[in-house]
């Protein structure tokens, strides 16, 4: 069970990395560039940490990584093509999904055996706080002003849920 959790978390951070990479490719030289870069750097640190954890625990990474590579980049780039608000809306949607996902993992681990998983719980809590910060940054930068915000946000969140489900198993 822990292996599945670690696998999907690793896939999530990998996907988030690619999303920011896509957004930077389009908006890198605009005024929002530095903000996106900062969030991207934090995601890179998250991914590094999960790489370590996976190697330590001998967890198999998801076989869909090449797919998330392309899909993440495409999502980031296409949301950025809608303008800065589009990119921020994508960030808000993804970070909200990830926060919810980490919260449910924290609940599961706390129910199971908090003492055994203290270190993992701490890592997940810290990352969840970072992701919430990204979410708030996105909102602060006019995410809600994109036309079709509700539709875009829900579509992206549905995609995230599907990605989480699949990455746990494959």
Residue spans of alpha helices (H) in the chain = 2-27, 33-57, 65-81, 84-112, 118-140, 149-169
- The reply to whether 43 sits in an annotated binding site is yes
- The reply to whether 134 sits in an annotated binding site is yes
- CA geometry: angle 113, 117, 123, nearest 5 deg: 140
* Cβ 11 to other proteins shortest distance, Å: 10
CB nearer to other proteins: pick between 2 and 54: 54
Among 28, 33, 42, 51, binds other proteins (CB under 8 A): 51
153 lies in the binding site for other proteins (CB under 8 A): no
Among 44, 61, 103, 157, binds other proteins (CB under 8 A): 61
CB nearer to other proteins: pick between 2 and 82: 2
134 lies in the binding site for other proteins (CB under 8 A): no
54 lies in the binding site for other proteins (CB under 8 A): yes
CB nearer to other proteins: pick between 31 and 58: 58
Q: How far apart are CA 160 and CA 66, in angstroms?
A: 16
CB nearer to other proteins: pick between 55 and 158: 55
Q: The dihedral of CA 126, 127, 132, 133: what is its sign? A: positive
- The reply to whether 126 sits in an annotated binding site is no
66 lies in the binding site for other proteins (CB under 8 A): yes
Q: The dihedral of CA 123, 99, 159, 46: what is its sign? A: negative
What is the full DSSP assignment across 83-96? -HHHHHHHHHHHHH
Do the beta carbons of residue 6 and residue 57 sit within 8 Å? yes
Q: How far apart are CA 49 and CA 75, in angstroms?
A: 24
Known binding positions for Fe cation = 13, 43, 46, 95, 131, 134
The residues binding other proteins (CB under 8 A) are 10, 50-51, 54-55, 58, 60-61, 63, 65-66
């Amino acid at each position: 069970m822990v292996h599945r959790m670690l696998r999907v978390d690793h896939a999530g951070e990998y996907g988030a990395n690619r999303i920011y990479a896509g957004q930077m490719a389009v908006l890198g030289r605009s005024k929002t560039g530095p903000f996106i870069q900062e969030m991207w750097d934090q995601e890179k640190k998250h991914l590094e940490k999960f790489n370590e954890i996976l190697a330590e625990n001998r967890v198999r990474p998801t076989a869909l990584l090449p797919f998330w590579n392309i899909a993440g980049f495409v999502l980031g780039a296409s949301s950025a093509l809608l303008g800065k608000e589009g990119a921020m809306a994508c960030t808000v949607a993804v970070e909200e999904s990830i926060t919810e996902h980490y919260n449910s993992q924290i609940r599961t681990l706390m129910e199971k055996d908090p003492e055994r998983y203290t270190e993992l719980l701490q890592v997940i809590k810290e990352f969840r706080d970072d992701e919430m910060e990204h979410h708030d940054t996105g909102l602060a930068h006019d995410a809600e002003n994109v036309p079709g915000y509700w539709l875009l946000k829900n579509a992206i969140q549905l995609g995230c849920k599907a990605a989480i489900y699949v990455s746990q198993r494959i």
